[in-house]
Amino acid sequence: MGYKVAVVGATGNVGREILDILAERAFPADEVVALASRRSQGQDVSFGDKILKVKALDTYDFSDTDLCLMSAGGETSKEWSPRIGAQGCVVIDNSSAFRYDPDVPLIVPEVNADAVVGFSKKNIIANPNCSTAQLVVALKPLHEAATIRRVVVATYQSVSGAGKDAMDELFNQTRSVFTAGEVKVEKFTKRIAFNVIPHIDVFMEDGSTKEEWKMVAETKKMLDPKIKLTATAVRVPVFIGHAEAVNVEFERPISPEEATAILRSAPGVMVVDKRENGGYITPHEAAGEDATYVSRIRADSTIDNGLSFWCVSDNLRKGAALNAVQIAEVLINRKLLTKAKQAA
Protein backbone atom coordinates (compact mmCIF):
# COMPACT_ATOMS: atom_id res chain seq x y z
CA MET A 1 0.00 0.00 0.00
CA GLY A 2 1.32 3.42 -1.00
CA TYR A 3 1.07 6.76 0.75
CA LYS A 4 -1.52 9.51 0.63
CA VAL A 5 0.15 12.76 -0.36
CA ALA A 6 -1.22 16.30 -0.38
CA VAL A 7 0.39 19.08 -2.42
CA VAL A 8 -0.49 22.54 -1.08
CA GLY A 9 -0.05 25.39 -3.55
CA ALA A 10 -0.67 22.99 -6.43
CA THR A 11 -1.52 25.77 -8.91
CA GLY A 12 1.79 27.65 -8.42
CA ASN A 13 5.10 27.19 -10.24
CA VAL A 14 6.64 24.96 -7.57
CA GLY A 15 3.42 23.10 -6.80
CA ARG A 16 3.01 22.08 -10.44
CA GLU A 17 6.66 21.05 -10.55
CA ILE A 18 6.17 18.90 -7.43
CA LEU A 19 3.29 17.08 -9.11
CA ASP A 20 5.40 16.48 -12.21
CA ILE A 21 8.35 15.17 -10.19
CA LEU A 22 6.17 12.86 -8.06
CA ALA A 23 4.93 11.32 -11.30
CA GLU A 24 8.35 11.23 -12.99
CA ARG A 25 10.00 9.48 -10.05
CA ALA A 26 7.08 7.05 -9.55
CA PHE A 27 6.72 8.16 -5.95
CA PRO A 28 4.90 5.41 -3.97
CA ALA A 29 1.60 7.24 -3.58
CA ASP A 30 -1.79 5.56 -3.75
CA GLU A 31 -3.46 8.96 -3.78
CA VAL A 32 -2.27 12.50 -4.53
CA VAL A 33 -4.47 15.43 -3.57
CA ALA A 34 -4.01 18.91 -5.05
CA LEU A 35 -4.78 21.74 -2.62
CA ALA A 36 -4.79 25.53 -2.90
CA SER A 37 -6.77 28.55 -1.73
CA ARG A 38 -10.53 28.72 -2.26
CA ARG A 39 -10.13 30.96 -5.31
CA SER A 40 -8.31 28.09 -7.08
CA GLN A 41 -10.84 25.43 -6.03
CA GLY A 42 -12.04 23.39 -8.99
CA GLN A 43 -9.11 24.19 -11.26
CA ASP A 44 -7.43 21.34 -13.12
CA VAL A 45 -3.76 20.45 -12.60
CA SER A 46 -1.89 17.59 -14.24
CA PHE A 47 -0.29 14.70 -12.39
CA GLY A 48 1.41 12.33 -14.82
CA ASP A 49 -1.31 11.22 -17.22
CA LYS A 50 -4.06 12.16 -14.76
CA ILE A 51 -5.92 15.40 -14.16
CA LEU A 52 -6.56 16.41 -10.55
CA LYS A 53 -9.27 18.80 -9.38
CA VAL A 54 -7.90 21.32 -6.92
CA LYS A 55 -9.50 21.25 -3.48
CA ALA A 56 -9.59 24.02 -0.89
CA LEU A 57 -6.92 23.88 1.80
CA ASP A 58 -9.08 25.34 4.56
CA THR A 59 -11.72 22.59 4.34
CA TYR A 60 -9.40 19.62 3.87
CA ASP A 61 -9.01 16.97 6.58
CA PHE A 62 -5.37 15.84 6.92
CA SER A 63 -6.03 13.12 9.49
CA ASP A 64 -5.68 10.30 6.91
CA THR A 65 -2.90 11.97 4.89
CA ASP A 66 0.69 10.80 5.34
CA LEU A 67 2.66 13.58 3.73
CA CYS A 68 2.05 17.22 2.87
CA LEU A 69 4.33 19.00 0.40
CA MET A 70 3.72 22.66 1.22
CA SER A 71 4.47 25.34 -1.34
CA ALA A 72 2.01 28.14 -0.64
CA GLY A 73 4.18 30.89 0.88
CA GLY A 74 5.40 31.75 4.34
CA GLU A 75 2.21 33.17 5.84
CA THR A 76 0.12 30.19 4.73
CA SER A 77 2.75 27.81 6.06
CA LYS A 78 2.95 29.57 9.44
CA GLU A 79 -0.79 29.16 9.84
CA TRP A 80 -1.24 25.67 8.43
CA SER A 81 1.94 23.62 8.83
CA PRO A 82 1.68 23.30 12.64
CA ARG A 83 -2.01 22.36 12.34
CA ILE A 84 -1.26 19.76 9.69
CA GLY A 85 1.66 18.35 11.66
CA ALA A 86 -0.50 18.10 14.77
CA GLN A 87 -2.85 15.77 12.82
CA GLY A 88 0.03 13.33 12.29
CA CYS A 89 0.80 14.35 8.71
CA VAL A 90 4.47 15.18 8.00
CA VAL A 91 4.92 18.57 6.33
CA ILE A 92 7.81 19.33 3.97
CA ASP A 93 7.69 23.11 3.67
CA ASN A 94 9.18 25.12 0.81
CA SER A 95 8.80 28.51 2.48
CA SER A 96 11.15 30.30 4.87
CA ALA A 97 8.63 30.03 7.75
CA PHE A 98 10.43 27.29 9.72
CA ARG A 99 13.96 27.14 8.27
CA TYR A 100 15.57 28.76 11.30
CA ASP A 101 13.49 26.97 13.94
CA PRO A 102 15.89 24.79 15.98
CA ASP A 103 13.16 22.12 16.25
CA VAL A 104 12.72 21.89 12.46
CA PRO A 105 15.37 20.14 10.32
CA LEU A 106 16.56 22.08 7.27
CA ILE A 107 17.49 19.45 4.71
CA VAL A 108 19.27 18.96 1.42
CA PRO A 109 19.55 15.16 1.15
CA GLU A 110 23.00 15.18 -0.48
CA VAL A 111 24.29 17.39 2.34
CA ASN A 112 22.69 16.51 5.69
CA ALA A 113 20.15 13.70 5.28
CA ASP A 114 20.92 12.35 8.76
CA ALA A 115 19.44 15.49 10.35
CA VAL A 116 15.99 14.52 9.07
CA VAL A 117 15.33 12.42 12.20
CA GLY A 118 14.58 15.61 14.14
CA PHE A 119 11.31 16.18 12.26
CA SER A 120 9.20 14.36 14.85
CA LYS A 121 9.27 17.33 17.26
CA LYS A 122 6.86 19.29 15.07
CA ASN A 123 6.25 16.95 12.10
CA ILE A 124 7.74 19.68 9.90
CA ILE A 125 10.83 19.59 7.67
CA ALA A 126 12.07 22.74 5.94
CA ASN A 127 13.35 23.06 2.40
CA PRO A 128 16.13 25.64 2.02
CA ASN A 129 16.14 28.73 -0.14
CA CYS A 130 16.64 27.86 -3.81
CA SER A 131 19.95 29.70 -4.10
CA THR A 132 21.30 27.99 -0.96
CA ALA A 133 20.26 24.49 -2.05
CA GLN A 134 22.45 24.34 -5.14
CA LEU A 135 25.33 26.09 -3.37
CA VAL A 136 25.59 23.60 -0.50
CA VAL A 137 25.34 20.61 -2.86
CA ALA A 138 28.54 21.87 -4.48
CA LEU A 139 30.24 23.00 -1.26
CA LYS A 140 29.61 19.87 0.85
CA PRO A 141 32.12 17.49 -0.82
CA LEU A 142 34.75 20.25 -1.00
CA HIS A 143 34.25 21.07 2.69
CA GLU A 144 34.71 17.42 3.62
CA ALA A 145 37.96 17.32 1.66
CA ALA A 146 39.65 20.57 2.63
CA THR A 147 37.45 22.43 5.21
CA ILE A 148 35.98 25.70 3.97
CA ARG A 149 36.85 28.89 5.85
CA ARG A 150 35.08 31.52 3.75
CA VAL A 151 32.73 31.76 0.78
CA VAL A 152 32.00 34.80 -1.40
CA VAL A 153 29.07 34.25 -3.76
CA ALA A 154 27.25 36.40 -6.28
CA THR A 155 23.96 34.99 -7.53
CA TYR A 156 22.25 35.44 -10.89
CA GLN A 157 18.69 34.40 -10.05
CA SER A 158 15.90 33.78 -12.52
CA VAL A 159 12.51 35.45 -12.23
CA SER A 160 10.70 32.15 -11.61
CA GLY A 161 12.08 32.33 -8.09
CA ALA A 162 9.62 35.18 -7.53
CA GLY A 163 6.62 33.26 -8.90
CA LYS A 164 4.43 33.14 -11.98
CA ASP A 165 3.57 36.85 -11.86
CA ALA A 166 7.28 37.65 -12.05
CA MET A 167 7.68 35.43 -15.11
CA ASP A 168 4.72 37.17 -16.71
CA GLU A 169 6.26 40.56 -15.95
CA LEU A 170 9.52 39.64 -17.70
CA PHE A 171 7.59 38.35 -20.71
CA ASN A 172 5.31 41.40 -20.91
CA GLN A 173 8.14 43.90 -20.42
CA THR A 174 10.25 42.21 -23.09
CA ARG A 175 7.37 42.31 -25.54
CA SER A 176 6.76 45.98 -24.71
CA VAL A 177 10.40 46.85 -25.39
CA PHE A 178 10.20 45.30 -28.86
CA THR A 179 6.84 46.87 -29.69
CA ALA A 180 7.64 50.30 -28.20
CA GLY A 181 4.87 49.80 -25.67
CA GLU A 182 4.68 50.87 -22.03
CA VAL A 183 7.04 48.93 -19.79
CA LYS A 184 5.06 48.35 -16.59
CA VAL A 185 6.94 47.67 -13.35
CA GLU A 186 4.75 45.86 -10.80
CA LYS A 187 6.39 42.78 -9.31
CA PHE A 188 9.97 44.06 -9.22
CA THR A 189 11.43 47.32 -7.89
CA LYS A 190 12.84 48.23 -11.31
CA ARG A 191 12.39 47.06 -14.86
CA ILE A 192 13.71 43.48 -15.25
CA ALA A 193 13.67 43.16 -19.05
CA PHE A 194 17.20 43.72 -20.42
CA ASN A 195 18.33 44.66 -16.93
CA VAL A 196 19.66 43.16 -13.68
CA ILE A 197 18.44 44.09 -10.19
CA PRO A 198 20.76 43.73 -7.15
CA HIS A 199 17.83 43.37 -4.77
CA ILE A 200 15.95 40.21 -3.77
CA ASP A 201 13.61 40.25 -0.75
CA VAL A 202 13.61 43.09 1.80
CA PHE A 203 16.57 45.16 2.99
CA MET A 204 18.00 44.54 6.46
CA GLU A 205 19.67 46.97 8.87
CA ASP A 206 23.22 46.10 7.80
CA GLY A 207 22.48 46.83 4.13
CA SER A 208 22.18 43.22 3.03
CA THR A 209 18.92 41.81 1.72
CA LYS A 210 16.94 39.00 3.31
CA GLU A 211 17.87 36.71 0.41
CA GLU A 212 21.54 37.24 1.15
CA TRP A 213 21.00 36.69 4.86
CA LYS A 214 19.15 33.44 4.13
CA MET A 215 22.14 32.07 2.25
CA VAL A 216 24.41 32.81 5.21
CA ALA A 217 22.10 31.40 7.89
CA GLU A 218 21.09 28.30 5.95
CA THR A 219 24.63 27.36 4.91
CA LYS A 220 25.73 27.59 8.53
CA LYS A 221 22.77 25.48 9.73
CA MET A 222 23.14 22.73 7.12
CA LEU A 223 26.88 22.63 6.46
CA ASP A 224 28.97 24.18 9.25
CA PRO A 225 28.36 27.13 11.60
CA LYS A 226 32.06 28.05 11.37
CA ILE A 227 31.91 28.87 7.67
CA LYS A 228 32.02 32.59 6.90
CA LEU A 229 29.88 33.52 3.92
CA THR A 230 28.97 36.75 2.17
CA ALA A 231 26.50 36.97 -0.71
CA THR A 232 25.24 39.45 -3.27
CA ALA A 233 21.90 38.28 -4.67
CA VAL A 234 20.91 39.59 -8.09
CA ARG A 235 17.76 39.06 -10.17
CA VAL A 236 18.43 38.59 -13.90
CA PRO A 237 16.11 38.43 -16.96
CA VAL A 238 16.12 34.63 -17.19
CA PHE A 239 12.92 32.59 -16.80
CA ILE A 240 14.28 29.42 -15.13
CA GLY A 241 17.64 28.53 -13.60
CA HIS A 242 19.81 30.20 -10.98
CA ALA A 243 23.54 30.72 -11.53
CA GLU A 244 26.19 31.55 -8.95
CA ALA A 245 29.77 32.76 -9.13
CA VAL A 246 31.43 31.19 -6.09
CA ASN A 247 34.80 31.97 -4.50
CA VAL A 248 35.99 29.66 -1.71
CA GLU A 249 38.89 29.84 0.74
CA PHE A 250 39.98 26.52 2.30
CA GLU A 251 42.10 25.59 5.30
CA ARG A 252 44.48 23.53 3.17
CA PRO A 253 45.60 23.72 -0.45
CA ILE A 254 43.24 22.14 -2.97
CA SER A 255 44.02 22.23 -6.67
CA PRO A 256 41.43 22.68 -9.43
CA GLU A 257 42.20 19.14 -10.55
CA GLU A 258 41.54 17.69 -7.08
CA ALA A 259 38.36 19.76 -6.70
CA THR A 260 37.16 18.60 -10.10
CA ALA A 261 37.71 14.94 -9.22
CA ILE A 262 35.89 15.39 -5.89
CA LEU A 263 32.92 17.11 -7.52
CA ARG A 264 32.68 14.55 -10.32
CA SER A 265 32.06 11.82 -7.73
CA ALA A 266 29.74 13.89 -5.52
CA PRO A 267 26.01 13.06 -5.35
CA GLY A 268 23.77 15.48 -7.22
CA VAL A 269 26.68 17.26 -8.96
CA MET A 270 27.48 17.24 -12.66
CA VAL A 271 30.78 18.80 -13.74
CA VAL A 272 30.86 20.33 -17.22
CA ASP A 273 34.17 22.15 -17.44
CA LYS A 274 36.06 22.38 -20.73
CA ARG A 275 38.28 25.40 -21.18
CA GLU A 276 36.88 26.19 -24.60
CA ASN A 277 33.98 28.03 -26.17
CA GLY A 278 30.74 26.63 -24.73
CA GLY A 279 32.54 24.30 -22.33
CA TYR A 280 30.32 25.27 -19.39
CA ILE A 281 26.65 25.16 -18.40
CA THR A 282 24.21 28.07 -18.51
CA PRO A 283 20.74 28.36 -16.92
CA HIS A 284 19.07 27.65 -20.27
CA GLU A 285 20.71 24.23 -20.42
CA ALA A 286 20.05 23.44 -16.75
CA ALA A 287 16.30 24.11 -17.01
CA GLY A 288 14.35 20.89 -16.57
CA GLU A 289 17.37 19.00 -15.23
CA ASP A 290 17.89 17.59 -11.74
CA ALA A 291 21.63 18.09 -11.32
CA THR A 292 23.58 20.95 -9.82
CA TYR A 293 26.09 21.82 -12.54
CA VAL A 294 29.59 23.08 -11.80
CA SER A 295 31.85 24.72 -14.40
CA ARG A 296 34.82 27.13 -14.60
CA ILE A 297 36.74 25.50 -11.72
CA ARG A 298 39.99 27.44 -11.29
CA ALA A 299 42.52 28.59 -8.71
CA ASP A 300 42.26 32.02 -7.08
CA SER A 301 45.81 33.29 -6.77
CA THR A 302 44.79 36.34 -4.71
CA ILE A 303 44.30 34.28 -1.52
CA ASP A 304 45.89 31.22 0.03
CA ASN A 305 44.03 27.99 -0.74
CA GLY A 306 41.46 29.69 -2.96
CA LEU A 307 39.20 28.33 -5.68
CA SER A 308 36.51 29.86 -7.87
CA PHE A 309 33.74 28.09 -9.76
CA TRP A 310 30.44 28.62 -11.56
CA CYS A 311 27.33 26.80 -10.30
CA VAL A 312 23.99 26.45 -12.12
CA SER A 313 20.76 24.63 -11.29
CA ASP A 314 17.04 24.64 -12.09
CA ASN A 315 15.66 26.61 -9.15
CA LEU A 316 12.17 25.14 -9.48
CA ARG A 317 13.55 21.60 -9.28
CA LYS A 318 16.64 21.21 -7.06
CA GLY A 319 15.95 24.60 -5.52
CA ALA A 320 12.44 23.61 -4.48
CA ALA A 321 10.26 20.79 -5.85
CA LEU A 322 12.86 18.08 -6.44
CA ASN A 323 14.52 18.67 -3.09
CA ALA A 324 11.15 18.37 -1.33
CA VAL A 325 10.40 15.07 -3.05
CA GLN A 326 13.92 13.80 -2.28
CA ILE A 327 13.33 14.59 1.40
CA ALA A 328 10.12 12.55 1.25
CA GLU A 329 12.06 9.68 -0.31
CA VAL A 330 14.60 9.84 2.53
CA LEU A 331 11.74 9.50 5.04
CA ILE A 332 10.43 6.44 3.23
CA ASN A 333 13.81 4.81 2.62
CA ARG A 334 14.73 5.20 6.29
CA LYS A 335 11.30 3.95 7.38
CA LEU A 336 10.55 7.21 9.21
CA LEU A 337 7.15 7.81 7.61
CA THR A 338 4.22 5.97 9.22
CA LYS A 339 1.10 5.51 7.13
CA ALA A 340 -1.82 7.31 8.69
CA LYS A 341 -4.29 4.52 7.99
CA GLN A 342 -2.06 1.97 9.70
CA ALA A 343 -1.44 4.28 12.66
CA ALA A 344 -5.18 4.74 13.09
**Cα 234 to Cα 200: distance, rounded to the nearest angstrom:** 7
Annotated binding-site ranges: 11-14, 39-40, 99, 157, 160-161, 235, 315
Q: Which residues are annotated as a binding site for phosphate?
A: 99
Backbone angles phi, psi at 189, to 5 degrees: -80, -20
Residues 6+ apart with CB under 8 A from 298: 256, 307, 308, 309
Report the catalytic residues. Answer: 130, 242
Contact 155, 161 (CB under 8 A): no
Return d(Cα 192, Cα 218) in angstroms, integer.
Answer: 27
Q: How far apart are CA 92 and CA 78, in angstroms?
A: 13
Instruction: Report which secondary-structure segment, H or E, holds 326.
Output: helix 322-333
Residues contributing to the annotated binding site for NADP(+)? 11-14, 39-40, 160-161, 315
Would you put residue 329 in left (φ > 0), alpha (ψ -120 to 50) or beta?
alpha
Chain mean position to CA 171 = 23
Note whether 251 and 149 are within 8 A (CB): yes
Burial class (CB in 10 A: 0-12, 13-18, 19+), 39: exposed
Beta strand segments in 82-227, E:
90-93, 124-126, 148-157
Closest CA to 183 of 166, 201, 198, 171: 171
Using the 8-state DSSP alphabet, how is residue 321 labeled? I
Q: Which residues are annotated as a binding site for substrate?
A: 157, 235
Residue 264 three-state SS: helix
- Per the CB < 8 A criterion, the answer to whether 71 and 9 are in contact is yes
What burial class does residue 23 get, using C-beta atoms within 10 Å of its C-beta: 0-12 exposed, 13-18 middle, 19+ buried? middle
